[in-house]
């Protein structure tokens, strides 16, 4: 893995594509030590009943590492009512998760808190699904804490499958996606 090889140089990894607000902890394939964290940025569309979002990263000027970030969300209801775009700060990472630093070990500890604490799991689920209707479903289903932990604590499919015990992902994922498609996502669109 290229991240493993250049972990001492890479200062931040920011990705999209998943349409979720999350992170993945990456470990070295050689020694299991932390190799980095990939931050998944939410999307700018209402795809899958999510609210448009963008993120502003704050970097440490000495180390060039990510020091914090602010997540902005588009207020669809208010924007439609007032006929002009309205953005708001959804949260500031360190403040929201009560963290002093955003280093690999701190994020691994946060993933563990999400795994064992209903309140941290619900906080994470609310933001992972961008405060949209899916977040209510996910917050109510604390039985997904272990899978959520595995999603955060692993960066490749084989490690994820090992973490959750293999086949459980496809069964749960299929159930959740069917539920979303049936009850939440059809025709759920906003005019902007």
* Six token digits for residue 118: 């209903």
Note if the pTM is more than 0.85: no
Contacts of residue 72, defined as CB under 8 A and 6 or more positions apart, other chains included, come to 53, 54, 55, 56, 87, 88, 89, 90
Whole-number pLDDT of residue 176? 52
Residue 146's SS3 state is: helix
Whole-number pLDDT of residue 191? 45
Whole-number pLDDT of residue 185? 43
Residue 148 buriedness (CB in 10 A; 0-12 / 13-18 / 19+): buried
CA neighbor of 146 nearest in space, from 179, 174, 168: 168
Q: Are 23 and 34 in contact (CB under 8 A)?
A: no
CA neighbor of 152 nearest in space, from 6, 21, 60, 11: 21
Q: Are 99 and 110 in contact (CB under 8 A)?
A: yes
Query: pLDDT above 90 covers what percent of the chain?
Result: 31
CB count within 10 Å of CB 61 equals 7
Mean pLDDT by 10 residues, the chain (192 residues): 81 82 86 86 80 92 93 90 94 96 92 92 86 76 85 86 68 50 44 44
Q: Are 177 and 138 in contact (CB under 8 A)?
A: no
Contacts of residue 88, defined as CB under 8 A and 6 or more positions apart, other chains included, come to 72, 73, 75
Residue 54 has what DSSP assignment? E
């Amino acid at each position: 893995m290229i991240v493993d090889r250049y972990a001492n140089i890479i200062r931040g990894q920011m990705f999209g594509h998943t349409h979720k607000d999350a992170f993945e902890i990456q470990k070295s394939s050689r020694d299991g030590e932390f190799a980095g964290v990939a931050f998944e940025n939410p999307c700018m569309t209402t795809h899958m009943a999510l609210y448009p979002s963008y993120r502003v990263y704050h970097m440490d000027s000495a180390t060039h590492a990510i020091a914090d970030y602010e997540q902005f969300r588009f207020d669809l209801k208010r924007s439609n009512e007032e006929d002009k775009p309205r953005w708001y700060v959804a949260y500031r990472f360190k403040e929201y998760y009560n963290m002093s630093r955003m280093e690999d070990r701190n994020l691994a500890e946060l993933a563990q808190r999400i795994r064992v604490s209903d309140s941290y799991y619900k906080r994470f689920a609310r933001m992972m699904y961008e405060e949209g209707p899916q977040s209510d479903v996910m917050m109510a289903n604390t039985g997904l804490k272990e899978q959520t932990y595995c999603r955060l604590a692993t960066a490749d499919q084989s490690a994820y499958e090992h973490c959750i015990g293999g086949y459980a992902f496809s069964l749960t994922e299929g159930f959740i996606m069917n539920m979303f498609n049936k009850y939440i996502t059809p025709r759920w669109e906003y005019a902007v």
